[in-house]
Amino acid sequence: MTLEYRTVFISDTHLGTRGVQVEELSIFLKNIRCERLYLVGDIVDLWALRSKVHWPTSHNQIIRRVLKHAKRGTHVVLIPGNHDDALRQYVGLDLGGVRIAMRAVHRTADGKSMLVTHGDEYDLVVQNGRFISILGGWAYDRLVMLNRVVNFARQSVGLKKWSFSQAIKRKVKGACTFMSNFEEALMGEAKRRELDGVVCGHIHQPALREVDGLIYANCGDWIERSSALVEHADGRLELLDVERVLAQHGLEVKYASQEEVALEESPMNGMLTFEVMG
């Protein structure tokens, strides 16, 4: 089964951390065909890798699948975020068929011009308090690990997944205010550039809506959920719940057993490799 799209936007996969929904991501990348693939920041979590290397072979698989898309002729653009900001020194270069850019303007099939940016430039916490941002990221990672244990127990008794961090965001007024300010800043930038909208990531909050005649689209993430933004052949944008889409098309996600996870995380298997799959 092949999922055909004109354009696919993915952000915040955070490869190199333990919370990645890597099985869903791998199956999705394997089965999509698209003209353009935008990786909208925080694809590899270099912040996390600086403190502790966690790079199982399943994360290598994601890199290989991206490179395979580029080899097939898909126009692949990587826009670094704050967690992979070291890649910004390579802006303007083409690495293995992947173009590195600070931002992009994407034109949809129906003529809309969309600013594509990770979004951390419009986050005052990241810009003015890097230490606080890193500390918050550490706490978030611990919350995600706890959430995985809870969700494993919930699924074993037939209950749906549940997100601690999403529940906190809904309850905490400050989080709601932050997200609102973030969206307003990005929409203001799109308006200033005389564009039709913006595609971003960063805040792990998928969204697709029109505000004052402008389109706000957030790709979401692959930590708390598996989400992606896609453009269809006619230019229509759609926000995907990838887990649901895979199930609808009979694309089974096989989750690794604890023994398999332990094996692939062994030191011999944890080395970075970037060769393209044959």
Domain borders along the chain are: 3-269
pLDDT value of residue 141: 59
Query: Crossing angle for the helix pair 130-156 and 164-171, nearest 10 degrees?
Result: 120
pLDDT category of residue 18 using cuts at 50, 70 and 90: confident
Name the percent of the chain lying above pLDDT 90.
61
Between 40 and 173, where is the model more confident?
A: 40
Q: What are the E-state strand segments in the chain?
A: 3-4, 7-10, 32-33, 36-39, 75-78, 94-95, 98-100, 104-107, 113-116, 197-200, 207-211, 214-218, 227-231, 237-241
Distances (CA, A) of 188 to 108, 198, 201, 216, 271: 20, 10, 16, 11, 42
Residue 39's identity, in one-letter code, is: L
* Domain 3-269 class in CATH: alpha beta
Structural tokens at position 133:
């941002």
pTM: 0.79
Q: Are 37 and 258 in contact (CB under 8 A)?
A: no
Query: Taking the CB of residue 6, how many other CB atoms lie within 10 A of it?
Result: 16
pLDDT in tens, 99-145: 999 999 999 999 999 999 999 988 654 444 444 444 445 555 555 55
